[in-house]
């Protein structure tokens, strides 16, 4: 059974959103400021990491790490120089 889960964080003045669609082949989509910047599929509940760039000057590389399961999906924003990852908050649509 497929379900869609949405996550969001504001970082460096930019909106980063992720959608995790669970099921046999989970799909992860990442949007920065409303534009799709990353897309990946995975198998079962394996985590997937999507390297993206924030449109700063110069561009800032970050990674969105999505874990489709087991249980409730979760997403983290990983940045260079920060010791702790940033938890992307679940968002209802």
Q: pLDDT at position 1, please? A: 67
For 18-40, what is each residue's pLDDT tens digit? Answer: 999 998 889 999 999 999 999 99
Domains of the chain: 3-88 (2.40.128)
- Please give the DSSP secondary-structure letter assigned to residue 50: E
- Please give the DSSP secondary-structure letter assigned to residue 33: T
How far is Cα 71 from Cα 63, in angstroms, rounded to an integer? 22
Q: Taking Cα atoms as reference points, which of 61, 35, 59 lies closest to residue 50?
A: 61
Give, in order, the Cα–Cα distances in Å from 36 to each of 1, 7, 43, 62: 25, 14, 21, 15
The reported pTM is 0.91
Q: Identify which has the larger pLDDT, 43 or 27.
A: 27
For 46-79, what is each residue's pLDDT tens digit? Answer: 999 999 999 999 999 999 999 998 889 999 999 9
Q: pLDDT at position 43, please? A: 84
């Amino acid at each position: 059974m497929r379900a869609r889960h949405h996550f969001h964080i504001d970082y460096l003045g930019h909106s980063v959103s992720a959608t995790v669609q669970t099921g046999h082949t989970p799909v992860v989509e990442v949007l920065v400021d409303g534009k799709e910047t990353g897309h990946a599929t995975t198998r079962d509940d394996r985590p997937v990491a999507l390297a993206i760039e924030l449109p700063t000057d110069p561009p800032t590389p970050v990674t969105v790490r999505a874990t489709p399961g087991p249980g409730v999906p979760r997403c983290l924003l990983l940045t260079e120089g920060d010791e702790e990852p940033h938890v992307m908050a679940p968002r209802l649509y």
